[in-house]
Amino acid sequence: MKILGIETSCDETAASVVELLESSRTSNQSTQTSAVRGAAEEAQRTVQSGTESEHRKSATKHSAVSSTRVAGSASKQGATVCRLLSNVVASSMDLHKKYGGVVPEIAARSHIEAINPVIEQALYQAKYGQGFGHNSGVASSASQQAVTADGLWDDIDAIAVTYGAGLGGSLLIGVLAARTLAILHNKPLYACNHVEGHVYANFLTETPLKGYSLPSSQPQFPLLALIVSGGHTQLVLFRDHFDYEILGRTQDDAIGEAFDKVAKIIGLPYPGGPSVAKEAAKGDPDKYTLPKAKLQGRFDFSFSGLKTAVLRLAQAECGVDYDFPSYKLPEKLSEAQKADIAASFQRVAVETVVDKTVATFESYRPKSVVIAGGVAANQELRHQLEHRLSEAIAQQSDGKQTEVARILHYTDIKLCTDNAAMIAALGSFKMKLKQPTADPYSLDIAPNLSM
Ligand code: KG4
Ligand code: ZN
């Protein structure tokens, strides 16, 4: 089955097509199996026979989507392969840079301009290959005309869209586009949680697209997900698809938010995560001692104290008082001080999440550990977690020597930050496992949606 994913929760307008196949199939055998094809056909029949009022009734069912348990699991129904057929992302990040963060109104306007060409380019690339249009950007108007004339929708079995969490105005554009297309092309619609989507980026293991480094196998259940993004920091145990428990979460700032704020303190450009990581490579991670939060909840996190400690450290290094305007700090800090602050902050922020992830791993012994979300792009996080998990595995008393590479999963950096491939991957499992469809006449956005 092939799913079109649409994601517009923040400043990226993204569309992607993902194909779900049985694992016994090789990448050039694109015939769908009866199990997977059956789910697609059943969902299609529901759409064809459904009246508008039936669609409305199913919308009520949909509110239970995020916590639904499925009786027959994918793991029990046979392994699958998720192929990335196209991945198009148009970012409005450059427009936000001068404000030091995303401006919701500008993001929403940019989505309106980009949404149609991005979706068309994703469909086009999935059907005709990467050579048609480039991989990140918007299709030219000439190719768009060709696109509308083509039977691009024939192969698409369903549409998956992010309906939360995110910026209201941004989510609205993606959801309205998906609803309209679902009605127009008579396709089932799946409403996806953005944060859950980040985890599903790790299920993509094959692609004909150039420039992607994907994991060789899908993670297995029980699966421990460390979700680290600009809005979320949480440890989630998935017993199976759509059957999960949140073990720990941040009590204040998300780790990505802390990277972004520290970047501002030391005068690095937005987005802060990649800037701090780049600066940290030039500095000494042990130069400064910074605090790690101690919390009551064993697997919970806190980053606001660390962020304040970095501010106090920068003030102390500059020899100024607490009331000195923070935006003037960067001009007083030397390049070496900035690099050492970035490196020391990154080491402690990463250690904080790695400590908790390893403690959770030791308590629950999952088969896989997955890093998901924008901060999963961070190399220091990948290295520290790999190292500490290997130590934890080596101490296992059952004598089994499992390699860390078989347990720890992370994906291509382009699929860690916001994209629609993760939404299409999540949507494909929703369809395969017969999760409820959303009502294209009434699906609403949920800006504060949690897992
Ligand atoms: O998942 P994402 O793209 O958007 C949200 O859902 O929030 O995550 C964005 C966050 C930002 O805070 C950004 O600074 C951070 O991920 N980030 C990084 C890196 N790349 C992106 N943080 C640390 N190191 C990176 N290499
Ligand atoms: Zn995200």
Decide if 172 contacts 108 (C-beta within 8 A): yes
Pocket test for ligand 1, best of 259, 352, 371, 450 (most atoms within 8 A of CB): 259
How does residue 395 score in pLDDT terms, banded at 50, 70 and 90? Answer: confident
CATH number of the domain that 34 lies in? 3.30.420.40
Q: Which atom of ligand 1 is nearest to the CA of 373?
A: 1
Residue whose Cα lies nearest atom 14 of ligand 1: it is 273
Pocket test for ligand 1, best of 417, 423, 450 (most atoms within 8 A of CB): 417
Residue whose Cα lies nearest atom 3 of ligand 1: it is 417
Q: Is residue 404 located within the same domain as residue 281?
A: yes
Would you state the structure tokens that stand for residue 259, as one six-digit string? Answer: 């990277």
What mean pLDDT do residues 1-27 have? Answer: 88
Amino acid (1-letter code) at residue 156: I
Question: pLDDT by residue (tens digit) across 186-223?
Answer: 999 999 999 999 999 999 999 999 999 999 999 999 99
What mean pLDDT do residues 289-318 have? Answer: 93
The pLDDT, as a whole number, for residue 34 is 46
In a domain, 44, yes or no: yes
Decide if 151 contacts 128 (C-beta within 8 A): no
Phi, psi of 427 (to 5 degrees): -60, -35
Q: Is residue 245 located within the same domain as residue 186?
A: no
* Beta carbons within 10 angstroms of residue 112's beta carbon: 15
* Beta carbons within 10 angstroms of residue 81's beta carbon: 19
What mean pLDDT do residues 151-155 have? Answer: 89
Q: Which atom of ligand 1 is nearest to the CA of 232?
A: 7
Amino acid (1-letter code) at residue 433: L
User: 195 C-alpha to center of ligand 2: Å?
Assistant: 6
Pocket test for ligand 1, best of 375, 380, 410, 422 (most atoms within 8 A of CB): 375
Q: Is residue 265 located within the same domain as residue 380?
A: yes
Closest ligand to C-alpha of residue 375 is: 1
- Percent of the chain scored above 70 by pLDDT? 82
Calculate the alpha carbon distances from 284 to 288, 289, 340, 341, 418 in Å.
8, 11, 5, 8, 30
Q: Is residue 182 located within the same domain as residue 288?
A: no
Parallel, antiparallel or unpaired: strands 2-7 and 158-164? parallel
Q: Is residue 169 located within the same domain as residue 229?
A: no
The pLDDT, as a whole number, for residue 155 is 92
Amino acid (1-letter code) at residue 357: T
Q: Is residue 24 located within the same domain as residue 148?
A: yes
Q: Is residue 178 located within the same domain as residue 141?
A: yes
Q: What is the DSSP code string of 237-287? A: EEEETTEEEEEEEBSS--HHHHHHHHHHHTTPPSSHHHHHHHHHTTS-TTS
In a domain, 348, yes or no: yes
Beta strands in 74-232 (DSSP E): 80-91, 158-164, 189-193, 204-206, 223-228
Q: Which is higher by pLDDT, 135 or 88?
A: 88
Decide if 410 contacts 1 (C-beta within 8 A): no
What mean pLDDT do residues 293-306 have? Answer: 90
The pLDDT, as a whole number, for residue 52 is 46
User: 198 C-alpha to center of ligand 1: Å?
Assistant: 12
In a domain, 438, yes or no: no
The alpha carbon of 195 is separated from its chain's Cα centroid by a whole number of angstroms, namely 6
In a domain, 442, yes or no: no
Pocket test for ligand 1, best of 229, 257, 270 (most atoms within 8 A of CB): 229
What mean pLDDT do residues 276-301 have? Answer: 93
Q: Which is higher by pLDDT, 66 or 165?
A: 165
User: 189 C-alpha to center of ligand 2: Å?
Assistant: 21
Phi, psi of 257 (to 5 degrees): -60, -40
The pLDDT, as a whole number, for residue 373 is 98
What domain range is 327 assigned to? 224-409
Q: Is residue 156 located within the same domain as residue 288?
A: no
Q: Is residue 344 located within the same domain as residue 375?
A: yes
Residue whose Cα lies nearest atom 16 of ligand 1: it is 374
- Percent of the chain scored above 90 by pLDDT? 73
Q: Is the pLDDT of residue 367 over 90?
A: yes
The alpha carbon of 359 is separated from its chain's Cα centroid by a whole number of angstroms, namely 23
In a domain, 441, yes or no: no
How far is 178 from 64, CA to CA, in rounded Å?
20
What mean pLDDT do residues 405-419 have? Answer: 96
What mean pLDDT do residues 37-66 have? Answer: 51
Residue in 206, 212, 198 with CA at minimum distance from that of residue 413: 212
User: 100 C-alpha to center of ligand 1: Å?
Assistant: 14
* Total number of domains in the chain: 2
The pLDDT, as a whole number, for residue 101 is 83
Decide if 226 contacts 350 (C-beta within 8 A): no
Q: Taking ligand 2, which is a single-atom ion, which protein residues have CB atoms under 5 Å away? A: 229, 418
Closest ligand to C-alpha of residue 376 is: 1
In a domain, 324, yes or no: yes
Calculate the alpha carbon distances from 45 to 21, 115, 188, 240 in Å.
20, 28, 9, 27
Q: Is the pLDDT of residue 56 over 50?
A: no
Q: Is residue 195 located within the same domain as residue 251?
A: no
In a domain, 450, yes or no: no
Closest ligand to C-alpha of residue 102 is: 1
Residue in 408, 255, 268 with CA at minimum distance from that of residue 346: 255
Q: Is residue 274 located within the same domain as residue 313?
A: yes
How far is 89 from 13, CA to CA, in rounded Å?
6
The pLDDT, as a whole number, for residue 40 is 67
Residue whose Cα lies nearest atom 10 of ligand 1: it is 230
Question: pLDDT by residue (tens digit) across 240-267?
Answer: 999 999 999 999 999 999 999 999 999 9
State which of 13-27, 74-88, 425-439 shows the largest mean pLDDT: 425-439
How far is 105 from 96, CA to CA, in rounded Å?
10
Q: Which atom of ligand 1 is nearest to the CA of 259?
A: 14
**Ligand 1 binding pocket, CB closer than 6 Å:** 10, 229-231, 256, 259-260, 271-274, 277, 373-375, 377-378, 417-418
Residue whose Cα lies nearest atom 7 of ligand 1: it is 230
In a domain, 261, yes or no: yes
The pLDDT, as a whole number, for residue 79 is 82
Q: What is the DSSP code string of 363-394? A: HH--SEEEEESGGGG-HHHHHHHHHHHHHHHH
Question: pLDDT by residue (tens digit) across 63-72?
Answer: 333 333 333 3
Q: Is the pLDDT of residue 183 over 80?
A: yes
For 338-375, b/e burial (b = at least 16 CB within 10 A) is: bbbbbbbbbbbbbbbbbebbbbbbeeeebebbbbbbbb
Q: Is the pLDDT of residue 388 over 50?
A: yes
Residue in 60, 181, 58 with CA at minimum distance from that of residue 437: 58
Q: Is residue 318 located within the same domain as residue 187?
A: no
